[in-house]
Amino acid sequence: MNKINPLFKKELKVVNVGLKSFATDLKQQDIQVIHVDWRPPAGGNERMAKLLNKLK
């Protein structure tokens, strides 16, 4: 934790991956954030992900 503490004393620049609500919360607190619209392959549908893998 000691190593990470200084980070919070600096201005935060956040890259948020996945759920957009995390990015929205930070924006509301005036923290710079870039949102990456990422979803797990096939939206997390394991069956479809398995089929896609077979073709890779």
Partner 1 sequence: MHLVEKANKEAIERILNAQPTLIGIGIAIEEIPGMDIKTILHAGPPITWDKMSGPLRGAIIGGLIYEGLAKTEAEAIALAESGEIKFDPCHHHNAVGPMAGVVTASMPVWIVENRGYGNKAYCTLNEGLGKVLRYGAYSEDVIERLKWIEKTLAPVLKEALTLAGPIDLKSMIAQVVMMGDEAHNRNKAGTSLFIRELAPHIILTSFANDEKAAVLRFIHSNDHFFLNLSMPACKATLDPAGEVKYSTLVYAMARNGTEFGIRVAGLGDRWFTAPAEIIDGLFFPGFTAEDANPDIGDSVITETTGIGGFAMAAAPAIVQFVGGTPQDAMNFSKTMYEITEAENNAYKIPVLNFRGTATGINLLKVVETGILPIINTGIAHKDPGVGQVGAGLVRPPMKCFEDALEAFVALMEEEGIID
The binding site for partner 1 (CB under 8 A) comprises 39, 41-43, 45, 48, 51-52, 54-56
Q: Between 12 and 52, whose beta carbon lies closer to partner 1?
A: 52
Task: Give 11 or 37: the residue with its C-beta nearer to partner 1.
Answer: 37
Dihedral, 43, 27, 15, 37 alpha carbons, nearest 10: 20
Q: Are 24 and 31 in contact (CB under 8 A)?
A: no
Minimal distance, residue 56 CB to partner 1, in Å: 6
Tell the smallest beta-carbon distance from residue 37 to partner 1 (Å).
9
In 3-state terms the chain splits into helix, strand, coil percentages (rounded to 5) of: 50, 20, 35
